[in-house]
Amino acid sequence: MKILFWMEYFWPNIGGIEVVTLQLLLGLKARGVDCAVVTTQSNPPLPEEEEYSGIPIYRLPFPDGLLGDLRAYKRIRESLFSLKQKIRPDLIHIHSCGPTIFYEFQTRNAHPCPVLLTVHGLLSEPTKDSFIVKYLRSVDRITGVSRAALDYALRFAGDLSCPHSVVYNGLSFPDLPPSPVEWGTPRILMLGRLSPEKGFDVGLEAFSLLKKTHPSASLLIAGQGREQESLSARARELGLQGSVDFLGWIAPEDIYRTFNRASLVLVPSRSLESFSLAALQGAQMGRPVVATRRGGLPEVVLHGETGLLVESENPEEMAQAMDRLISDPARADSLGREGRQRAKTTFGVQRMVEEYESVYHALLKK
């Protein structure tokens, strides 16, 4: 079985989608599935063709053609025709709802084969006559990384003739064991891109309220993004300079050590999170999670079982939820243990690999 993965971005450009997809690729390769990746060329440019752990990667300058350069569009289209005819995949697995899928649609007749689209989240709310809706209706099967992500896509696609289902993201379990949680001097961790949709500004306000009842608490903010300056300024305005630590970008190999520093994980998203790797990684390390009821977060964090759910844009409720956990360490530790166990069973990488492989076989039997 040959699968061509279509990614908006890929290694070494690592985000949540790329982390999950890389583990899927390596898991499939271990099971004898022949995989290749087509993705966007980086800036500065990386080799147009190279391998990662034996998996071929093909990088194309997609943005050039999408910005109106007709010569670039023609060159990319011809390159894709040649690539599809060279690889001759049994199936194309799309992991993007971004603009590059226009090229995949335009080159379908180069090598006709089933197309599977996994919805990790839509970039924006599409109109009924938009290209993404047309694309959703053109594929042979759709999966969503959560029920919320799938339902969001189906709401715009309308009645679909193709099958659709949920395949939850999975992550391999870290070798690093969870360290004991320190509740006497609690540390709150927010990890992710520092951009408005992540709601870190609301999380910062919630932390300032928490400090009134737990003055020894501290906040770790891990990640990069355009909100860093405004978050730093707001922390100063709130008088939190000595209690908030901006850690910057965390290398993948250091992620779990960062979670081990935390007592609990706060995911204050205001957007429709399709999943949330931060919530899952926190659970893997036995940390209870406080998250908003947005998108797929209630599927990752079970309220009262593995963490607590709150309304978005509500710093008072977030602070109260964190206070309940810090004030009741026995219950907080219990939530963390349940979260860790659920991370092993419901969100294991082997389960994800097997479910996708089952979807592939079903498509190829059509």
CATH number for the domain that contains residue 277: 3.40.50.2000
Q: Are residues 257 and 330 in the same domain?
A: yes
Beta carbons of 144 and 150 less than 8 angstroms apart = yes
**Number of Cβ within a 10 Å radius of residue 29:** 15
Q: Mapping DSSP to helix (H, G, I), strand (E, B) and coil, where does residue 251 land?
A: coil
Instruction: Verify that 87 and 154 share a domain, yes or no.
Output: yes
Q: What is the pLDDT of residue 13?
A: 83
Q: Is residue 178 part of a domain?
A: no
Determine the distance from the C-alpha atom of residue 121 to the mean position of all C-alpha atoms in its chain, rounded to a whole number: 9
Look at residue 65 in the predicted model and tell me its pLDDT.
79
Beta bridge pairs of residue 246: 221
| Range in 31-35, 40-44, 66-70, 332-336 the model is least confident about | 66-70
Asked if residue 354 belongs to a domain, the reply is yes
Same domain, 191 and 335: yes
323 has a pLDDT exceeding 70: yes
pLDDT tens, position by position, 10-35: 988 878 899 999 999 999 999 999 99
Token digits of residue 187: 């540390």
Query: SS3 breakdown of the chain: % helix, strand, coil, rounded to 5?
Result: 45, 20, 40
User: Domain check: are 110 and 25 in the same one?
Assistant: yes
Specify the number of domains making up the chain. Answer: 2
Q: Which residues of 76-104 are buried (b: 16+ CB within 10 A; e: fewer)?
A: bbebbeebbeebebbbbbbbbbbbbbbbb
pLDDT average, residue stretch 341-363: 96
Q: Are residues 243 and 100 in the same domain?
A: no
- Look at residue 124 in the predicted model and tell me its pLDDT: 65
What whole-number distance in Å separates Cα of residue 134 and Cα of residue 58? 26
Q: What are the beta bridge partners of residue 58? A: 38, 49
Instruction: Tell me, yes or no, whether 205 and 312 share the same domain.
Output: yes
The conformational region for residue 5 under phi > 0 = left, psi -120 to 50 = alpha, else beta, is beta
Q: Is residue 65 part of a domain?
A: yes
pLDDT of amino acid 123? 60
**Model confidence, pTM:** 0.92
pLDDT of residue 27: 97
**Within a domain: 182:** no
Question: Is the separation of the CB atoms in 138 and 121 below 8 Å?
Answer: no
For residues 149 and 241, membership in a common domain is answered with no
How distant is the alpha carbon of residue 155 from its chain centre? 21
Considering the domain boundaries, does residue 180 fall inside one? no
Going by C-alpha positions, the residue among 262, 272, 268, 263 that lies closest to residue 294 is 272
Residue 296 and residue 164 in one domain: no
| CA–CA distance, 104 with 89 (Å, rounded to integer) | 13
Q: Is residue 60 in a domain? A: yes
Q: What is the mean pLDDT of the chain?
A: 93
Residue 286 lies in a domain: yes
Edge-to-edge order in the sheet of strand 34-40: 49-52, 55-60, 34-40, 2-6, 91-94, 115-119, 141-144, 164-166
User: Does the pLDDT at position 246 exceed 70?
Assistant: yes
Amino acid 192: pLDDT: 94
- Considering the domain architecture, whether residues 355 and 328 belong to the same structural domain is answered as no
Whether residues 151 and 207 share a domain: the answer is: no
Q: What is the DSSP letter of 13?
A: S
What is the Cα–Cα distance from 161 to 29, expressed in whole angstroms? 31
Tokens found for residue 284: 């893997």
Strand residues in the chain grouped as ranges (E): 2-6, 34-40, 49-52, 55-60, 91-94, 115-119, 141-144, 164-166, 187-191, 218-222, 244-248, 264-267, 289-292, 307-310
- The domain of 227 spans 187-345
339 and 360 co-located in one domain: no
User: Is residue 177 domain-resident?
Assistant: no
88 and 27, same domain (yes or no): yes
Average pLDDT over residues 81-98: 95
